[in-house]
Amino acid sequence: MTAVAQSEQTVTMTNVEAVRTTLHDALVRDDRVLIMGEDVGARGNVFLITKGFLEEFGAQRVVDTPLAEASIVGIAVGMAMEGLRPIAEIQFADFIYPAFNQIVGEAAKTRYRSNGDYTCPLVIRTPYGGGVRGALSHSVSIEALFYHVPGLTILAPSTPADIKGLLNAAIACPDPVLFLEHKKTYRSVKGEVPGGYYTIPIGKADVKKPGTDLTVVSYGYNLHQALDAASRLDGDGISVEVVDLRSIRPMDKTTILESVRKTRKLLIVHEDNKFGGIGAEISAMVAEEALFELDAPIRRLAGPDVPAMGYALPLEEEFMISTDEMVDAMRSLVTF
Amino acid sequence: MAKTAAARGRELDRAGLDDAQLVAMLRNMLLQRQLDNRGFQLNRQGKIPFALGSEGHEAVQAGAAAAFKRGADILVPYYRDLGLALGVGMTPFEILSSLFARRTDRSMGRQFPNHYTNRDLGVMSISSIIAGHCTHAVGAAAAMAYRNERGRAVVCTTGEGATSQGEWHESVNYAAVHTLPIVFLVQNNEWAISTPQDMQMKVANVADKAPGYGIPGVVCDGFSPIATYKVMHDALERARSGGGPTIVEAKCYRFLSHSTDDDDRTYRSREIIEERRKLDPVPRFEAVLIEAGVIDDARAKALKADVLRETNEATDAAEAQPYPTVESLYENITAEDYAPWRHWQ
Whether B339 has a pLDDT exceeding 50, the answer reads yes
Residue range A107-154, pLDDT digits in tens: 999 999 999 999 999 999 999 999 999 999 999 999 999 999 999 999
Q: How far apart (Å, rounded) are the C-alpha atoms in residues A231 and A93?
A: 31
With a CB-CB cutoff of 8 Å, which residues 139-158 of chain A face chain B? 150-151, 153
Residue range B56-113, pLDDT digits in tens: 999 999 999 999 999 999 999 999 999 999 999 999 999 999 999 999 999 999 999 9
Q: How far apart (Å, rounded) are the C-alpha atoms in residues A227 and A242?
A: 7
**Total structural domains in chain B?**
1
Q: How far apart (Å, rounded) are the C-alpha atoms in residues B330 and B345?
A: 12
Is there a domain that residue B272 lies in? yes
How confident is the model over B188-214, as a mean pLDDT? 97
Is there a domain that residue A6 lies in? no
| Mutation target vs B (from A117, A118, A178, A255; most B CBs, 10 A cutoff) | A117
With a CB-CB cutoff of 8 Å, which residues 50-79 of chain A face chain B? 60, 65-66, 68, 70-71, 73-79
Which pLDDT score is estimated for B1? 43
Q: How far apart (Å, rounded) are the C-alpha atoms in residues B26 and B28?
A: 5
How confident is the model over A62-73, as a mean pLDDT? 98
With CB atoms and an 8 Å threshold, state whether A113 touches B343. Answer: no
Q: How far apart (Å, rounded) are the C-alpha atoms in residues A206 and A213?
A: 18
Measured between CA atoms, how close is B32 to chain A, in angstroms?
23
Please check whether residues A132 and A229 belong to one and the same domain.
no
Whether B176 has a pLDDT exceeding 70, the answer reads yes
With CB atoms and an 8 Å threshold, state whether B140 touches A101. Answer: no
Out of B115, B119, B338, whose CB is closest to A175? B338
Please check whether residues A179 and A232 belong to one and the same domain.
no
Domain boundary among A193, A225, A241: A193
Which residues span the domain enclosing A316? 206-334
Find the helix packing angle between A69-81 and B166-177, rounded to 10°.
70
In the residue annotation, A148 being an active-site residue is answered as no
Measured between CA atoms, how close is B2 to chain A, in angstroms?
51
Contacts of A250 in chain B (CB under 8 A): 340-341, 344-345
pTM for this one? 0.96
Residue range A21-54, pLDDT digits in tens: 999 999 999 999 999 999 999 999 999 999 999 9
Is there a domain that residue A4 lies in? no
Out of B134, B146, B344, whose CB is closest to A203? B344
C-alpha distance from residue B200 to each of A222, A263, B131, B197 (Å): 48, 62, 14, 5
- The ipTM value here is 0.95
Is there a domain that residue B330 lies in? no
Please check whether residues A157 and A217 belong to one and the same domain.
no
How confident is the model over A283-304, as a mean pLDDT? 98
Is there a domain that residue B223 lies in? yes
Domain boundary among A170, A193, A216: A193
With CB atoms and an 8 Å threshold, state whether A109 touches B106. Answer: no
Out of A82, A116, A252, whose CB is closest to B143? A82
Measured between CA atoms, how close is B303 to chain A, in angstroms?
33
* Total residues belonging to chain A: 336
Is there a domain that residue B14 lies in? no
Q: Report the DSSP beta bridge partners of residue B184.
A: B156, B247
Domain boundary among A132, A161, A193: A193
> Considering A138, A182, A224, A270, which one is annotated as catalytic?
A138
Q: What is the CATH number of the domain that holds B39?
A: 3.40.50.970
| Mutation target vs B (from A67, A72, A79, A82; most B CBs, 10 A cutoff) | A82
Q: How far apart (Å, rounded) are the C-alpha atoms in residues A125 and A103?
A: 12
Which pLDDT score is estimated for B345? 45
Out of B119, B173, B174, whose CB is closest to A118? B119
Is there a domain that residue A163 lies in? yes
- Side-by-side strand order, sheet with B74-76: B74-76, B154-159, B182-188, B246-251, B217-221
**Total structural domains in chain A?**
2
